[in-house]
């Protein structure tokens, strides 16, 4: 049986509407929240929906900032979060990010690293399903 760890503070490693949705759900569960933002998103709405916000990827540009595993882990440790929700896209299916979270003692709210690795190519998920591949 898997033991569930109780969270008190989570970080959303994403931006925009998905970040807002995760932040709202966390708030409804009574969790403290942390949002990250790239310089280009300094006025983005998700920043104002979180309890704390941190700049990631100074000078990298928005896409590289949100894809920076080192930056996400740096902020998560600085903010002392229990878990990171990746949203979708960006780092959500990156096994290296899930592994980095585990090494830092932070729960990755998403698929296990081995599942992410299995999805690294789009043809692999078809083989993981039971039954014949759709035509």
Residue pLDDT, tens place only, 90-102? 888 888 999 999 9
Give the DSSP H/E element, type plus range, for residue 108: strand 107-108
pLDDT value for 116: 58
* Average pLDDT value for the chain: 86
pLDDT at residue 131 tops 60:
no
In whole angstroms, how far apart are CA 39 and each of 10, 35, 36, 64, 85?
Answer: 21, 13, 10, 11, 21
pLDDT at 119 over 70: no
Long-range contacts: 68-72, Cβ < 8 Å, 24+?
A: 69/94, 69/96, 69/97, 69/100, 71/36, 72/11, 72/13, 72/36, 72/97, 72/100
pTM of the entire structure? 0.81
Residue 93 is predicted with a pLDDT of 80
β-pair partners for 9? 32
pLDDT of residue 123: 52
Between CA 83 and CA 92, with CA 88 as vertex, the angle to 5 degrees is 55
Q: Which domains does the chain show, CATH number per domain? A: 9-128 (3.40.50.20)
pLDDT digits (tens, 9 = 90+) for 54-83: 999 999 999 999 999 999 999 999 999 999
């Amino acid at each position: 049986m898997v033991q569930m760890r109780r969270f008190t503070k989570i970080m959303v490693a994403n931006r925009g509407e998905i970040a807002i949705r995760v932040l709202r759900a966390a708030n409804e569960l009574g969790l403290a929240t942390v949002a990250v933002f790239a310089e280009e998103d300094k006025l983005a709405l998700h920043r104002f929906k979180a309890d704390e916000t941190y700049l990631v990827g100074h000078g990298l540009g928005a896409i590289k900032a949100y894809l920076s595993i080192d930056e996400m882990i740096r902020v998560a440790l600085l903010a002392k979060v229990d878990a990171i929700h990746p949203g979708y896209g960006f780092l959500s299916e990156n096994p290296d990010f899930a592994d980095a979270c585990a090494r830092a003692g932070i729960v990755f709210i998403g698929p296990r690293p081995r599942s992410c690795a299995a999805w690294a190519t789009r043809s692999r998920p078809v083989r993981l399903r039971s039954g014949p591949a759709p035509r």
